[in-house]
Amino acid sequence: MTDHVRTDLTDGVLTVTLARPEKKNAITQAMYAALAEATRRARDDAAVRVILFRGEGDSFSAGNDIADFIAIGGAGEGQLTDAPVFHFLKALADLDKPAVAAVRGRAVGIGLTLLLHCDMVVVAEDALLSAPFVNLALAPEAASSMLLPHVLGHQRAFEIFALGEPIDGRTALAWGLANRAAPADQVDALAADVAARLASRAPNSIRKTKVLMRDAERLWTLMQAEGEAFGSQMRSPEAMEAFMAFSQKRAPNFG
Ligand code: COA
């Protein structure tokens, strides 16, 4: 149980709020477990028509909690797909109802790759989206090694992964990562409006539409393959150096 993920079901929209603003909504193991449960509920509960992800405070999410990376990396071998993050990824792959995201501020790592599983994305014009897996000596996850180049093309996706620099919300819109860009203070209302409109559509029709547009099995197979690269990197000396550098607020030295 965690207070850092809140859910609210109103008029068919299950709003899932990342609520750890003092840590820029960095996601802990307990939060992944709560996200997995909410996402499974979205699929299984007939009262849910749409799931809407948003963040409390000034950021959508700073991605995986780096202290957790240090703890898991230091713990040695273990089946990565047993970890709560994989329960969340599996639930995302299996989700057959519309997902919407409202993105303000930072969206880092899984904060960005989660958007690739959302069917409609509303970003703040000044949001900053990044996937600095290589900066942390990690590897892409959440099927982003396929989905990001699919949306952006190889070169843009490679730059996002390898240089780790953020793109802003306007660029995300121009590059096809988002459906709408708006001033930050309008993002939640705009995303709620999008979610409400999706919730009013014929539920079976919209589910079948989504299922036809995605290959859930292929996504899950890729997520597991990525998990092997990610897991072995996470336990590597170069990743430990990157995590320690972050926690010590210094630049990493990869020698
Ligand atoms: N894991 C754990 N703690 C995190 C975190 C993360 N991913 N991201 C931010 N935090 C913490 C910071 O350590 C800081 O904690 P403190 O107040 O106890 O020192 C707090 O959240 C605020 O972050 P701060 O870095 O001061 O805010 P900022 O506005 O200067 O920068 C970010 C925001 C998101 C750009 C920056 O925090 C960052 O780069 N975070 C790491 C992102 C990342 O690499 N995630 C993993 C992707 S795979």
The per-residue pLDDT for 74 is 73
- Pocket flag, ligand 1, residue 70 (CB < 6 Å): no
91 alpha carbon, distance to own chain's centre: 12
In a domain, 222, yes or no: no
In tens, the pLDDT along 57-108 reads 999 999 999 999 888 877 766 677 789 999 999 999 999 999 999 999 999 9
In a domain, 167, yes or no: yes
Average pLDDT of the chain to the nearest whole number: 96
Share of residues in the chain with pLDDT > 70 (%)? 99
- pLDDT above 70 for 213: yes
In a domain, 31, yes or no: yes
Contact 13, 50 (CB under 8 A): yes
Q: Which positions ≥6 away from 41 have C-beta within 8 Å?
A: 7, 14, 48
**pTM value?**
0.97
- pLDDT above 80 for 185: yes
The pLDDT-based confidence of 9 (bands split at 50, 70, 90) is very high
In a domain, 217, yes or no: no
In a domain, 223, yes or no: no
Q: Tell me the average pLDDT across 200-218.
A: 98
Report, in this order, helix, strand and coil percent for the chain, each rounded to 5: 50, 15, 30
In a domain, 214, yes or no: no
Q: Tell me the best of 24, 85, 104, 112 to mutate to test the pocket of ligand 1, counting ligand atoms within 8 Å of each CB and taking the most.
A: 24
193-198: which pairs have CB atoms within 8 A and are 24 or more residues apart? 194/100, 194/120, 194/122, 195/13, 195/15, 195/50, 195/52, 195/98, 195/100, 196/11, 196/13, 198/49, 198/50, 198/98, 198/100, 198/119, 198/120
In a domain, 243, yes or no: no
Q: What is the CA radius of gyration of the chain?
A: 17
The per-residue pLDDT for 76 is 65
The per-residue pLDDT for 81 is 77
In a domain, 242, yes or no: no
- Determine the structural domain holding residue 141 and report its residue range: 5-184+200-204
- Pocket flag, ligand 1, residue 64 (CB < 6 Å): yes
- Pocket flag, ligand 1, residue 106 (CB < 6 Å): yes
Question: For the chain, how many structural domains are there in total?
Answer: 1
In tens, the pLDDT along 155-177 reads 999 999 999 999 999 999 999 99
Question: Residue 55 belongs to a domain with what CATH number?
Answer: 3.90.226.10
24 C-alpha vs ligand 1 centroid, how far in Å? 6
In tens, the pLDDT along 50-64 reads 999 999 999 999 999
Q: Which amino acid is at 39?
A: T
